[in-house]
Each structure stands twice: as structure tokens, then as C-alpha cells.
Structure 1
């Protein structure tokens, strides 16, 4: 069994890939949450331009495959910038860091899904509490910080948990930009050892382990968010 897990010396490569996968996933999730909050504000704001911008963001991003967006950002964007610079007679070379490009693209993609999660969570908060807060003189910002934001999380966490589960699996797509995450390193190990089934099966078990740990963590967060809430 130990010899199988070692994969002729390539077992450590899968572990390194798993660590990078978790790093990319967590970083992307932070970006997705921040963009989701901004997007939800845009959708719920009274400003029509904000409504249009947020609606366009969620519609376009959710309508284009993740792989296409990753390739567009990593390979297409530098070429476009260089072509524009050439038209202005500027000698420019753009080389994106695959780690930064992967994290930002995945975060940008799932920020659109987080937007809808947060929008629903904000709408689920009892409007009576908001009206009561405004009636005692609370401004919009103070009402958001003390009333909406703390209560919104208990409605948002289940949806954000689903976003995380999909996001962590979507990190496998950034193997196409040569980032040595779990899927990329599994492919390298499979080709070197000629044990494709073993390598990919172990990779699937690692993804499953990450998912199980995530479920436990999500449950703990939901319990924390629901403290003091009377269950029907």
C-alpha cells in the first residue's frame, strides 16, 4: 500500500499539488465573497447603473464556461494588451503569473454565483428589523453593519458552502495554464509512472477528503451563525 501511495517517488508531487489547490481555492473564495457582496449591493441598490452593472456581471460570467474565461484571461488578455500597445508604438511584453491569474479568474467567476447567494440572504432578513432600526435614527451604513450584515450570514452560509464545493473542484481547470495544482501534478505523475488510474484515483480521493473537511467546517460555521436563533 505504501509503495502504491509513493507512486515511484511521485506521491509527494500530489501532496504539493493538493496544498496549492487548497491555497488557490481559499484565495479565490475570499475574492468571490468580496465580489459577491459588491454585486449584491449593486443588485439591491436604488441606482439603476449599479443594477445594470451587477446584472450584466452575473449574466455574462454565469453564461460563459469557466475554462473559456480562464484561457481568455491567461492567454487572451496579455495578447490583447500587447496588440493595443503595438498600435500605440509601445514595445510591451505582458507575462501573467499563473497563480495570480488562476486565483483572480476563479474568484471572479464564482463572485457572480456568490452575488446571487448574498442577494437572497439580504432579502431573507426580516424587513421589520430594518424599518425599526431606521425609525430610531440609524443611517444606512450603520443599519447595514449592525442589522443586515450579522443576520445575513446565517442565510448565506449554506449557499456559500455550495459555491465553495464547486469552486474547489473548478480549480482543476487551471491545470491548463500549467499551474502545478493537484490535477496538473496528477497528470505529470500519471505520464511518468504509466499508472494513470492509480494517480487519478488518488487525486479524486484527495478532492473527496477536502470536500469532507469542508462539510465539517461549514457545519461549524452554520452552528456559529445560528447561535441565539430560536428553532421552530
Structure 2
């Protein structure tokens, strides 16, 4: 009898542990999702509302145009063409999206982070210097030079970048583990926020003269 009770207790504890291990909050699909008491006032349900499955068609899962280079006439000399849930409605709830990135010679995808996705990048043309920085316990730079056909992974939430170190244009395709991964370009967010962050905060944080901080804020 004791063995039977012991066995049942063991099974129950294993089931509880399994339940706790698999339980988690749903992944955030937007920057904020403030709770409201009145459903009639809701706009999103942590992402998108769903179409009636009976009305689903092939066009819900289709997009075109990734064969066309993006416009790189900008300060960073690169362009990101995004294919996420806003482009392909059928991506809703599937947890994946992708981008095409075009780089002029010495163009870059500047330091940024995706708060909701890991990224896996494949170089189609050119040579890229890429890397990411680990969290504050070490702030270690993990970097590598990639050539055509090479693949590199940027872990979720970590600051990363790509820089075309070649003398010709470069092209990469990246997949991301969210239908809406989000992107925070560090310089834009810190020096270009609206309204601006108090310069005193940035002066101390970056150990810069206030005039330099104000200049950077004017640039973004």
C-alpha cells in the first residue's frame, strides 16, 4: 500500500512539474498592450484579430518583391525590406517573419535590437562584418566576417549590427522568430526620442559634454 501511495505521489509531482514547466505568458506582439475593462474599447488582442477560416485564401499567405533592391539613399546606406504580419496576414500566430537587407559599400544596419525575436541571417551577396553584444554582466562582443552563403544568429533582445566591409553592394536575407519582432535602433531611440530625453540624463549615461549630447539629439 505504501509503495502504491508513493508511486501516485511521484506521478502527481511529475505532472505538476511538467505543467509548471510548460506554462508561460503569451509572447508580446506589440510594444505595449494596456489592459482595459471594456472589451468594446479593445483594438488589438496582443496582435491581430483572426479572419474566419472559411474565408482563408492563398493571397493571405503570399507576398512578392523581395527580388527588388531597397532604396539605400540614406544616412546609413542600407535598406531593410520587411515581410511581417502586416505584409502577409497569414503569418498571424505563426511566430515568424523575414527581411531583405541591402547595403551599399560601407553601408550598415546600425546597432539595434529586436525585443521579440531571435534573428538568423544569410548573406546572399557581398561581405559583411556582423556581431552582437552580450548582456551587462560581460558586454562581450561576438563578431565575425561573413561571405556569400554564410549564416549567423543574433539572439533575442541583444544589440547587434551588420556592416558591409566590401567594395561592392551586399544583400542578406534574415528570418525572425516573431510575426512582429519590432526593432529599436539604439542611436535613434536614445538621441531621437519624442519628446527628447533630458540631456542631463544622457550626459551622465554616456559621459559626454552636454553640448555633444544636444548636438547628437539635433542630428536624430
Smaller-chain TM-score range? under 0.3
Q: Whose helix fraction is larger, Structure 1's or Structure 2's?
A: 1
Structure 1 or 2, whichever has the larger Rg, is 2
Q: TM-score, structure 1 length as denominator?
A: 0.21
Q: Whose strand fraction is larger, Structure 1's or Structure 2's?
A: 2
Q: TM-score, structure 2 length as denominator?
A: 0.22
